[in-house]
Structure 1
Amino acid sequence: MSDPSERRLGRRTFLQLAGGAGVAAGCSPKAATEKLVPWMVAPEEIVPGRPLFYRTACRECGAGCGVTARTREGRATKLEGNPEDPIGRGALCARGQAAIQELYHPDRFKGPLRRGKDGALTPVSWDEAEDALARAIAAAQAKGPGRVRLLTRLEPGSTGAVQRAFMKAAGGRPEDRVVLAPLAPAPLRAASAALLGVPELPVVDLSAARSVVAFGADLVETWSSPVELARQLAEGRGRLGAERRRLTWVGPRLALTGVSADRWIGCRSGGELAVALGLLRWLLDPASRVSVADAVRPLAAPVLRHAPAELAARAGVEWREIERVARELAVRRPSALLAPGPQSQGPDATALAAVVLVANLALGNVGRTLRYGLDPREDVPSSAAEVRALVAAIGSGGVDVLLLQHADPVGTLPAALGFREALAKVPLVVSFALRPDPTTDRAHLVLPDHHTLESFEDTVPRAGVVNLVQPVMTPLADTRQSAQVLMEVGAKLPTPAPFPSTDPWDVVLARAAEHAKAALGAAPADVAPVHRAAFQRGGYWFEPAATPAPTLRAAAAEPFLELPPAAPAAAGTLDLVVFPTPLRGDGRGADLPWLREVPDALSSVSWSPWVELSPATARRIGVSTGDLVVLGTAAGRVEVPAYLFPGIRDDAAALPIGPEALALLPEGAGDQHVWAGVRATVAAAGKRTRLPVLEGSPYQHGREIVPAVSAAAPSPRRPDLSAKMYPEPAHPEHRWAMAIDLDRCTGCQACMVACHAENNVPVMGPEAARAGRYMGWIRVERYLGDEPGGALDVRLLLMLCQQCTNAPCEPVCPVYATYHTPEGLNAQIYNRCVGTRYCSNNCPYKVRTFNWRDARFERPLDMQLNPDVTVRSRGVMEKCTFCIQRIRYAENEARDAGRPVADGEIVPACAQTCPSRAIVFGDANDPASRVSRLARDGRAFRALEEVNAQPAITYLARVEDGEP
C-alpha cells in the first residue's frame, strides 16, 4: 500500500494533535509513559472525576453501529451509541452494551501461548511466536497453493485489506480466505444475483413503509441491522388509524419481532414459501385488480398455476389469512417484505428470498424501502459450500497452516460439519481469539488480539458509511492487534507483503485519503486535519454515488416460482425451529455474564438452554416446564429442559442457537447454512431440573395490568383518584419523571444490560437465578393473555422503580433508609439500610432487590465499575433512582454555566440506549417538556393506578390495529 499523502502523519503525532480534543469528542489516549513518575502537570484532556469520551465502532455484528466510549482515569466504564452515526444514531443493542465485558473478561488471554507436547498452552514471546508462524507459512507456501488458509469473521475495512494482502504474499488464492458469518442472509444475496444481476444485500429503509411483512426475519433482534430497523419501525408506531406502521410476522414461532407485530401468520416451518407465493399470486391475479410493476406481469402465468387451496395447505394456514395480508399490501404502499431470517432459512430459503423479491418489485418497493447499490462488497460472507470445501480440504490433510481470526467454527457451526474432528489433521492451527472458545481448545498457537476498544481500524458496513475504530485505553495485557501480527509476519515471508509499515494506524491512514476524497468530493490538500476531525466525529459519512436501479430478469425468476414437493414427515416428529436471541446472537458472546444473567424476554429463562413446546404438545409428551426432554435428529441427540410457550405451533419445537441446537443441525445444503427444515423426535427424559425462570404468572387474570387501545377505544380506562386525604409532597424545583411508549418498545433488553453497566448491578449466577434472586433494576414483564388456555395476546411492560409520590415503601422503613427527595425521587441511603425488606414487601411493583451476598467482580471486571455509583454490600436493598448520578452531573453543569437544565439534557442509561426511543425522561414540573406532553396523551396510563401510589412513570398503551 502506498502512502496517499506526501506529508506523513505518524500515529504518535496524530495522538499528540488529538490530545486536546476535549471531553465531548476525544481521540485516542497518548502512548503509555515510559517512566513511572507522578504527573506534576496532568494532560489537559484528563481531569480527575470527569469522564472523557471517545468515538469508535461496535463489531459485535455486521451492522457496524457507531459507539461513544466513556472513560474515567484511563479505563473504559460504559459504551453508548454515537448520536452522529447514521446507522445507530445514538442507540446500542444489548450485545453492543455487553462488549465492554469482553474487554475485561477474566479469561482473556494475557499473551501469546504455544501448545506443548503435553497438550497444555504455555507462554511464549511474541518474537518467538511470529518467527515460528513465518517459518511454518514459508514451508507450507513452498508445497504449493492452498496449504495456508484463513478463516475470519466479516472484515469490511482495513483489517480485511490487511488479511487479503497477507494471504496474497503467503501464496494464497482468493478462495483460501473464508469469511464465516453463519447468520448472514446468504439466500437474499443469491436471489438478488439471480433475479437482478447484483449479488448484493439491499439496505432496508422502513422510514417510508406503511406495512412490513417479515418471513422469519427478526428485524428487531438479530436480522440485518436491528438497532436501525427497530428505530425505523418505531417511528411509525404510537399512532391510531391508518397512519400507523403495521407489521405482520410469518413463522411457526412467535419471536420477539412477532410480539411487536399486529398480526401473526403462524405457518408451519418451511411454509413461509407457500405464504409468499400466496401473496404474490393474489397480487398478480387479474381478478384482484391490483396495479403491479410491468416487469413482473410476465410472471403471472407460472404463479397462477398454484391453487389457493394448495398454497394454504402447504403453509398450514387458512387462505383468507394470506389474502388479508395481500389486500393490505395492495392498499398500503410503500411496503417492505423481508426474508429470510434464521427461523425461515431452510433448504428452500433462496426460493423464498426470490419470491419475496419479486413481490417487492411488483409493489414498487425496490428503490424506496429496499435500496440496492449500498452494499460496499468490500467483504462478503463465504457460502456454506465454501465452508464445507474448507472442512474437506482440512480433513484430507491439504492444509498445513490454518489461521482463525475472530472465528469459532466449532462453537458456531453445526457439529455434523465435522470441523472439530478436521482440526486434528492440521499441523498448525493459529487462533487470534481474545479468550478461550471451543476452537482454541484445538489451537497450537494462540496470538491474542486486541479488543476493539484497544485497536485502530476502519470498517465499512455500507457505502457512504466509514466508521473509525480507535483505542480508548491502553491494552490490558500483552496482546497485539491481529492486523499488526499479520504485517509483522508478512515482512518475514520469502516474498514480503507490501505493507507501509507494521502499524495498523498506518493502514488506516493510508486508506484515509480515499475516504476523505469520497466524503468531500475531492482529495484534500492535507489529509491530517480531515482525518483528525473524522476520528473525533466517529467516521466519514456521505451520500454515495447513485447507481442505476436494478431490473428484473423475468426468465431467471421463473425457476424459483415452483413449489417444491412436500417432504413426507416421519411419524412422531416435530419441526425443529432454531432461533437466535437478542442476547445470544449466533452464540459467540453467550459466555458474557450480563448476557447470561439477563432473562430472555419471552421465556424469562437465564443461564440455561431450553426448548419451547406448545402446551398441547407438552401434554401429549407428558412434560411440563422444567422437565428434561430428549431431542433427536439424524445429526445427534441432546437433553434440554422444556418450557411451555403458547406462541409456537403444536407441530414444532423451538431451540435457541447454542451447543444444543448445533448438535442437532445438518451440515448444510447448497450454498447456504440451514437453520430450519429439520425434523426432530421429542420424548420425555424422565428427569427434572429447576429451570432459572424469572416470571411469576404470565397471565393478567382480568386485572388489565397492561391495557391496549384502538381507534374505536383510543384511551385506557383509568380510575378517579381526585380525592385526597392529605397533601401530596411538594416538588418546588424539579419533579423527575419518565414516559414509556409500549407501542414502540420491542422488548430488546438493551435497557436491562445498559442498567447493569451504568449502575454496577452485580451478576448473581445460575444458582441465585434458580432461586429467583435476580438483581436487575429494570425488567421486561411479559403477559401471554388474560387466562391460561385463552386467546394468545402477548403484551410487554418495562418495569422499574416507579418513583411514587405516595410511595408505599417510604413509611414502613424503620431506619428511614428510603425517603422522598424534593425532586420526586424515592432515594435509597445504602449505608443506613439494615435489610428488613419491609420496603420490598410493601412495594406493589416488586422493583426492589435484596443483596443476599456481597457483590463479586472478579478482576479485571472491577475496572469497568462506574466510580459515580456505590457498590452495594450484603444485606442492603437497592433499586433504580433514574440514574441519579446523571441527574446530579447535569444539574451541576447547568449550575456552573448559570442556566437551567434543558429538556432532554438528562438521559438515564435505559433511555439513552433504547433503539426504538420508547423511553423519555424529563421534568414533569415543566408543562412544555416532552415527558409532560406524553403524560397528557390519550394513551397514557400508570401501572396499578388504582393503588394510588401516584407513580412518576407514565406508560402509553400498545395500539391494537384493525383492518385497512
Structure 2
Amino acid sequence: MSNHDQCPSTTKGEKRQATKAELARVARHAGTVNGAPVWRSAEDLADTREFRDWIEREFPAGASELSRAEGEDDGSGESRRGFLKLMGASLALAGAASIPGCRQPDHKIMPYSRTVPEDIIPGKPLFYATSFPRPDGGAEGLLVETHEGRPTKIEGNPLHPVNNGKVSTWALASIMSLYDPDRLKNPVYKNPVRGQVSATWDDFRAWAKEHLAGYAANGGEGLAFVVGRAASLTRRAACASLAAKFPKATWVDYSATEDRASVLGTKIAFGRAMREVLNISKANTRVIVSLDRDFLTRERGELTNARGFAKSREVLEKNDSMSRLYAVESGFSITGGQADHRLALAPSRVAAFAVELAKRILPASGSPAGAEGLAGAIASMSVPAGEDLSGHSQTFLAECAKDLMEPNNRGKTLLVAGATQPPEVHALVAAMNAALGNVGVSVSYKALGADEAADSRAGIAGLASAIKSGAVRTVVCVGANPVYDAPGETGFAEAFAKAESVTLSVEMTETAMASTWMLNAATYLESWGDTVADDGTVAPVQPMIAPLYEPALSELEFLTLLAKDDAGAKVDGYDIVREHWRTTFNQSAADFEKSWRRILHDGVVPNSARAAETPKADYAAIGAALAGLKIGAAPTKESLEAAFVVGHLHDGRYANVGWLQELPETGTRVVWDNPVLMSPKTAEALGVSPAGWSRDDDMSGIYTKPKYPTARVIEMALGGRTIKAAAWILPGMPDNTLLCTLGYGREHAGRVGDGVGFNMYGVLPASGARAVGGVKVTKTDGEHMIASTQNHWSMNDRASIVRGVDLPAWNKHADHVQKAVDTFYANQDKVKELNFAESLGELGHTPPNLSLYSNPFNRTPADPDPKAMKPGNPQGPAYQKNTGPEFASRPQWAMTIDQTTCNGCGNCTIACQAENNIPVVGKKEVAKGREMTWIRVDRYFTGDMDKPEAMLHQPVACVHCENAPCEVVCPVNATVHGPEGLNYMTYNRCIGTRYCANNCPYKVRRFNFFDYGVTKFNGDYYFKEFLDDAGGAVPGQEGITGSGAYNKLNPNLIPPRLRQKLDQISRMQKNPDVTVRSRGVMEKCTYCVQRINAARIDTKLQGMDHIPEGYFQSACQQACPSDAITFGDSLDESSRVRKTREHARSYSLLGYLNTRPRTSHMVRVMNPNPALCSAERKASWEDPFHHGGGHEGGQDEHAKPDGHAFRFDGQKKREDRGYALSLNVLSRSHA
C-alpha cells in the first residue's frame, strides 16, 4: 500500500530496530472487565504493522486514490492517467451537452403570502398523529413532522403504549418510501403485443368490470388473492367482504418472514394459536434465557422489549438490582451482545440445549399437576453428545438451570425461543415458563386471528401448484411480492407467469413487473386506515399529504373496490374507516364526531387494548409432540447448518431505502450487502477466508493487501437448489454454521436496491423453516468486494475508550474517589477528583497534562476567572462580584450515553440522518471510509477471536469539546465555539482543508468529497453509455457504487454539471431547517442546533427564563428505544443530564487529552454468574483499577518507579524520527 499520505520528512532514512518489548505488543485492555482485550475485527486483534499503518493514515483510506500514477495501478482500473482520460472525454462531452453556465433562470414567481393556509406558519413545523403498520405485524403510533404540508420526519407518539415517544428503524426510514423516485406512479398494463404500456385507473376499472364478472358469477372459482398481512380492523372487514363476494376463491394471507414455529408451538402448548407478549421489567425479570431469539430488535415487540430490558439493567445506585441474561444463539445478535453469558451453538444444538435444560427444570421446579408425564418424556429423550455440549457448555447449562430455579426468582424469570427453533422447542419453552411461574408475570399470551394464524408458506406453495394445474387462472396480489420472496422450492415465480395477474404496490417489485396489471398504491402517509398494536390498542392512520401520484388507491380502498359489485364505484378511505368505526364502537352521531376528533388528535383510541391471557399448558400434548422431535448431531463442514434471519431490509421491501442499505449490520458492520456469515475456523476449513487473510500469517491482510476488503464467492446448495453468495467471517459464531440474511438480491426495486446482495430465498425450503441442515458449500474462483465500517474512524490507542465493569465490582467500589494529578474536566464541580469511571482509565496512572495553549473557554464553575470582575451579574448572589467563566451562564448543553442500556440498534443513526439531511454515498464510497453519518455506533469484541466473551457498543458523535482541537487548526474560522458550549460549523466559510478532521481525536467529522446531497444517487449522466464503454468497468466489480444494476463507473467521478440532479420529489423530504451541504464542506453533529434555536424562540415568546427540562429532545435521544441517550442543560441542577454527568459511572472519552468533551459516556455494567467467571475475572472485582503492565502506551514495558508513564506508539516511534525525537524530550521532562 502506498504511504504517500504521510509526510516524507519524518520517514526517510534507516529505521531503527524495534526492541523486544516493542515487538511483544500486548492488546489494549484498560477499562474493561478482567482486562480482556478490546478489538473491532480480526485484523485489529492481530495488530500488525501493516494494519496499524492502514488505520493511522493521515487521510481516510482511498482518499488519495485519484493521484495514483499509472504505474502504480493496483488492478482497480482507476490510475491517475486513466482518470484523466475519462475526464478528458467528460469535458469534451460537457461542451457538446450545451449546458448553460451562469445564466439565471427566467421564471415568474408568486409570493407565498397570498395563499398561506390559516393553520400554517411559514418556517414552523406541524405535527400530526398517525400509525405505522409494521411489516412483521402489529403497529406503532407516530407523530409526523410536516413543513408546509410535506412530511419530513417520523417520530414516536408518546401517547401510544407501544412507542412511548420512541420509534423503530423501519418506521423512521419509511418516509423514504413516500419520496422514492422509483415508486410506481401510474397503472401499467402488459399488452400481449406491445408489452408494458402506461394506462389509467379508468382503464383498469373497465378491465376489472369485465374480467371479474365471470368470477362473481361462479363464486370466485379460479380466482386467488395474495394479501400481505397487516393488523387493521377496517382492512380485515374489507377482506371479509371480498371473501364473501368470492367464497370459492383461494385466499393467502402472506408473510414472507413469518415465524411459523412459534404459532405451531403455541398450538401444541395451549391448543390454539397464540402470540407471546413479553413483560420485561426490573420487578418482573431477574433472569432471562434466550434460545436463539433476538428479542431486542427486528421483531414486532422490539420497542417494548428494549425499553423493559433497559429498565431491568439500569444501575444508578450502589447495590441496585439488575437482571441477568443468558443467550444461546447461532449468530451474534444484538441480544447476544447484551448477554452476561453467551453460548454459540448451531440451531439444532440450541434445541438440544433446550431439552437438556428442561431435564433439569421440570422435575425439580415443583411442576403443576400433569407436568410429571412431560418430565418423564423429556427424561427419556436422547440428545446426541458432542463437543459443543460438553465441558464449559455443561457448566453453562447447569448454572443457567440453577439461576432459573432459584427460590427468590420464582415467577421472575423468562425463557424465549426464536424462529430458528422447531415448534416442539417453542412448546417446551412455554411449559418451562409455566412450571417456573412466569406466565402472567413476565410473559402472557394473546390469541391470534385467523389471518395471523394462517400458514402463508403452505398457502403460497399450494397456490403455485393450483396455477400450474390450471385450477387458478387469475391472481390478485395486494401488498405482497411472492415472485421475489416465495421459497425457491415452491417454483412460484415460474407458475405466476402462466396466470392473469393484478398487483397493487407502492414500490416497484418483481411481482409487479411480472403482472398483467401493475397498479400504483398510496403509502400509509397518504392514506386513511387504522392499525391494531400488539397489546390490542387501535390507532388511526391519517394522511399527511395527498397522494403524490394521483390517482392512487390505498390497499384498503382497493380491497373495498374489488368487493363492490360495480368496479367503477368511487371509494374513499375516509368514509370507509369512519363507517366501520361508527358501527364497531356503537356510538351516536354526536358522540362519534367528538371521539373521532379526539382520536385523530391523540393518535390512539383510548382504552382499546385487550387484556392478555394466561392459558394453561397442555403438558400431555407437549410430551406427545416432543416424541417426534429428532435432534441430530452437531453439523460438520460436509453437512453444514444454515439459519435465515431478518436484516435491516426486512423481507426486501426496504431494499430501495438507502438509509437502511448504509446502516451497518450487527457484528460485521457490513453495509450494502448480505454475505453468508461463518466462523473464522469454518471459513478456513472450507478455504473461503477473505482475500489476504491468514490466521498464521497476517490477519490484517483483509484491509492492507487488497485495495478493498474482498470476500470469496461460494456456491451454497440445499435440496437441489443452489445460489452463489459472498462468504464473510463473524467472530463468535458456532463452527459449521452459516448465517444468511434475507431481503437482498432484488432485481426490480429501483436504482438504490437493484442488484445489491444475494437472494437467499432461492434456497429457503418450502416449509418456511428458518434453520436447515445438510447444506453444502463449494468454493468458486469469484471474488466480491465488501464494504465494512468495523475499522473506520478508529480512535488512536483504544486503551480505555469503551469501559465495562462487573456488578460485584461496581457494588464494592461505586463510591471510589481518588485524587487527580491533573486539573481534568471530569465533573463540573469536582475537577480535582476522579470518580469510579475515570479511575478505570488513564487518568489514574498518567502525569499531568502540560498545555501550551490557554483556551478562554476552559474555565468551569469550579474554576472561575479571577480577572473577570464585573458587577451586576444576573446569575445570583454568588456571582455579583465575579461574572464567572464563559460557560457558567445557562444554558450549557451536554449529553450522556449509557453503554449499559445501549444495545447498538442504530436507531440514533437513522434519526440523525433524517433530521439533518445526511446523504447516502454508496458502497464504494463507504469502502473508502467516506460514509457521512454523524453518529456512529462502534462495535468492539472482547476476548478471543473464535470465542469472544462479549460484544460492546458505543455510540460516538461530535462530543463538542470545550478545548476543541479542530477549532485551533481551521485557517478560516469555519469551526468555532459558541457561548452555550456548542462547537459550531459554518458551512459557507469552510474551504475543505480537512485540517479539523485530521486533528479530531474522535474521528467524527465528515467531509463531502462529492456532491452527495444535491445529485441523484446512482442517477444518470449525459452520454452515460458512451462513458461506461470508454471508461471500461473493472471485471467483477460492476456496480460497486452501491447498486449492481447501474453505473459501471463511479458516477462521483463524472463532472457535477453532467450528472442528474436530485429530483423534486426527493428534495421534498429534506428538513428545511438544516442546510444541505455541498462538495468540499466539512460537517458533523450539531447537537440538533436547529431544535435548540426553535426551543429558544418558543420559550422567549412564552416569557420563560430558561428552556425547561424535556422541552425538546435531540433526534438521537428521541429515537433511542432504551433511553440510553440523555441531552439537556448541564447547569440545570434538576436535569437528568446534570445528574448523569456527575454520576460515578460517567467518564469522558479520551479525557486525558484535556479536550473537555460535553458528551460523556457511562461505563457498561454486566451481571455475570460468579460460577461461570474465571478466577482472574473474579479477582478483578477486588481491584478493578489495576491493569498491570505499566501503561506505557500499551507496550509491554514497565512504568517508571513513580508509577506514571507517558503514552507512545511503538511502531510510530520506530518509523517517524520526529516522533521519536519528541519522545526523548518528553521522557527527560518526566524523568
TM-score, normalization by structure 2: 0.70
The residue aligned with 2:476 is 403
The residue aligned with 1:25 is none
Deviation string 1:2-33 (CA, Å, 9 cap, x unpaired) is xxxxxxxxxxxxxxxxxxxxxxxxxxxxxxxx
Q: 1:920 aligns with which of 1126, 1136, 1149?
A: 1126
Amino acid paired to 2:763: L
SS of equivalent residue, structure 1 residue 575: strand
Instruction: Output the CA distance in 1 between the equivalents of 2:447 and 2:1123.
Output: 26
User: 1:55 offset after TM fit, Å?
Assistant: 0.7
User: 1:310 offset after TM fit, Å?
Assistant: 5.0
Q: Which range is displaced more, 292-301 or 728-737?
A: 292-301
- The answer for unaligned runs of 5 or more in structure 2 is 1-109, 691-701, 703-709, 746-757, 811-835, 860-885, 1017-1061, 1171-1231
Check conservation: 2:138, 2:531, Cα contact below 8 A: no
Instruction: Output the CA distance in 2 between the equivalents of 1:883 and 1:458.
Output: 33
The residue aligned with 1:129 is 204
Pair 1:628 & 2:712 matched: yes
Residues 789/253 of structure 1: CA separation in 2 closer, same or farther (3 Å cut): closer
Bigger Rg over Cα = 2
Q: 2:257 aligns with which of 167, 183, 186?
A: 183
The residue aligned with 1:892 is 1097
The residue aligned with 1:748 is 905
Pair 1:51 & 2:125 matched: yes
Q: Percent identity at matched positions?
A: 30
The residue aligned with 1:686 is 781
User: 1:549 offset after TM fit, Å?
Assistant: 3.5
Equivalence map 1:264-279=2 (5 Å): 264-279=342-357
Amino acid paired to 1:632: M
Instruction: Output the CA distance in 2 between the equivalents of 1:45 and 1:912.
Output: 26
The residue aligned with 2:1191 is none
User: 1:480 offset after TM fit, Å?
Assistant: 1.7
Check conservation: 1:334, 1:369, Cα contact below 8 A: yes
Pair 1:710 & 2:806 matched: yes
Check conservation: 1:112, 1:124, Cα contact below 8 A: yes
Amino acid paired to 2:293: A
Instruction: Output the CA distance in 2 between the equivalents of 1:305 and 1:865.
Output: 63
User: 1:932 offset after TM fit, Å?
Assistant: 1.0
Amino acid paired to 1:542: N
User: 1:46 offset after TM fit, Å?
Assistant: 1.4
Check conservation: 2:938, 2:954, Cα contact below 8 A: yes
Check conservation: 1:212, 1:248, Cα contact below 8 A: yes
TM-score, normalization by structure 1: 0.89
Q: 2:666 aligns with which of 573, 592, 601?
A: 601
User: 1:311 offset after TM fit, Å?
Assistant: 9.2
The residue aligned with 2:993 is 836
Check conservation: 1:635, 1:663, Cα contact below 8 A: no
The residue aligned with 2:540 is 468
Amino acid paired to 1:705: I
The residue aligned with 1:526 is 591
User: 1:127 offset after TM fit, Å?
Assistant: 1.6
Q: 2:181 aligns with which of 78, 82, 106?
A: 106
User: 1:164 offset after TM fit, Å?
Assistant: 2.2
Q: Which range is displaced more, 587-596 or 537-546?
A: 537-546
Instruction: Output the CA distance in 2 between the equivalents of 1:951 and 1:404.
Output: 54
Instruction: Output the CA distance in 2 between the equivalents of 1:574 and 1:303.
Output: 27
Pair 1:341 & 2:546 matched: no
Equivalence map 1:763-912=2 (5 Å): 763-785=920-942, 791-854=948-1011, 855=1013, 856-857=1015-1016, 858-859=1062-1063, 860-899=1065-1104, 900-912=1106-1118
Residues 309/184 of structure 1: CA separation in 2 closer, same or farther (3 Å cut): closer
Check conservation: 1:148, 1:402, Cα contact below 8 A: yes
The residue aligned with 2:750 is none
The residue aligned with 2:1164 is 958
Instruction: Output the CA distance in 2 between the equivalents of 1:443 and 1:400.
Output: 13
User: 1:263 offset after TM fit, Å?
Assistant: 1.5
Instruction: Output the CA distance in 2 between the equivalents of 1:545 and 1:587.
Output: 32
Equivalence map 1:389-400=2 (5 Å): 389-400=462-473
User: 1:168 offset after TM fit, Å?
Assistant: 1.9
Q: 1:641 aligns with which of 689, 711, 726?
A: 726
SS of equivalent residue, structure 2 residue 664: coil
Amino acid paired to 1:435: E
User: 1:848 offset after TM fit, Å?
Assistant: 0.4
SS of equivalent residue, structure 1 residue 815: coil
Amino acid paired to 1:630: I
The residue aligned with 2:363 is 285
Report how many aligned residue pairs link the two structures: 907
SS of equivalent residue, structure 1 residue 794: strand
Check conservation: 2:679, 2:946, Cα contact below 8 A: no
Amino acid paired to 2:726: P
Amino acid paired to 1:679: G
Instruction: Output the CA distance in 2 between the equivalents of 1:693 and 1:548.
Output: 45
The residue aligned with 2:557 is 484
Deviation string 1:89-148 (CA, Å, 9 cap, x unpaired) is 111111111100000001111111111224642221212201212322222344554411
User: 1:891 offset after TM fit, Å?
Assistant: 0.9
Residues 619/548 of structure 1: CA separation in 2 closer, same or farther (3 Å cut): closer
The residue aligned with 2:528 is 456
Deviation string 1:444-484 (CA, Å, 9 cap, x unpaired) is 10121110000000112345400110000111002122332
Check conservation: 2:144, 2:153, Cα contact below 8 A: yes
User: 1:235 offset after TM fit, Å?
Assistant: 1.1
Pair 1:328 & 2:403 matched: yes
Deviation string 1:833-882 (CA, Å, 9 cap, x unpaired) is 00000000000111001101112253211110000000001000000011
User: 1:724 offset after TM fit, Å?
Assistant: 8.0
The residue aligned with 1:668 is 766
Instruction: Output the CA distance in 1 between the equivalents of 2:147 and 2:630.
Output: 62
User: 1:198 offset after TM fit, Å?
Assistant: 3.0
Instruction: Output the CA distance in 1 between the equivalents of 2:686 and 2:920.
Output: 35
The residue aligned with 1:211 is 287
SS of equivalent residue, structure 1 residue 526: helix
Check conservation: 1:140, 1:148, Cα contact below 8 A: yes
Q: 1:575 aligns with which of 641, 644, 666?
A: 641
Check conservation: 1:457, 1:508, Cα contact below 8 A: yes
Check conservation: 2:788, 2:927, Cα contact below 8 A: yes
Deviation string 1:503-531 (CA, Å, 9 cap, x unpaired) is 222221123235646xxxx8786211101
Deviation string 1:192-220 (CA, Å, 9 cap, x unpaired) is 22321232213221122222222222112
Check conservation: 2:994, 2:1007, Cα contact below 8 A: yes
Check conservation: 2:341, 2:1168, Cα contact below 8 A: no
Amino acid paired to 1:442: A
Instruction: Output the CA distance in 2 between the equivalents of 1:457 and 1:444.
Output: 27
Instruction: Output the CA distance in 2 between the equivalents of 1:546 and 1:632.
Output: 46
Instruction: Output the CA distance in 2 between the equivalents of 1:48 and 1:96.
Output: 27
The residue aligned with 1:947 is 1153
Instruction: Output the CA distance in 1 between the equivalents of 2:998 and 2:146.
Output: 38
Instruction: Output the CA distance in 2 between the equivalents of 1:404 and 1:63.
Output: 21
Pair 1:934 & 2:1140 matched: yes
Deviation string 1:76-97 (CA, Å, 9 cap, x unpaired) is 1001111100111111111111
Instruction: Output the CA distance in 2 between the equivalents of 1:212 and 1:206.
Output: 9
Instruction: Output the CA distance in 2 between the equivalents of 1:764 and 1:680.
Output: 36
Instruction: Output the CA distance in 2 between the equivalents of 1:812 and 1:374.
Output: 63
User: 1:938 offset after TM fit, Å?
Assistant: 1.9
Instruction: Output the CA distance in 2 between the equivalents of 1:58 and 1:314.
Output: 43
SS of equivalent residue, structure 2 residue 652: coil
Instruction: Output the CA distance in 1 between the equivalents of 2:292 and 2:443.
Output: 17
Instruction: Output the CA distance in 2 between the equivalents of 1:800 and 1:915.
Output: 18
Check conservation: 2:159, 2:604, Cα contact below 8 A: no
User: 1:570 offset after TM fit, Å?
Assistant: 6.9
Q: 2:269 aligns with which of 173, 195, 203?
A: 195
Q: Which range is displaced more, 151-160 or 543-552?
A: 543-552
Residues 545/141 of structure 1: CA separation in 2 closer, same or farther (3 Å cut): closer
Pair 1:441 & 2:509 matched: no
The residue aligned with 1:17 is none
The residue aligned with 1:8 is none
Pair 1:262 & 2:467 matched: no
Instruction: Output the CA distance in 1 between the equivalents of 2:1121 and 2:370.
Output: 37
Amino acid paired to 1:577: A
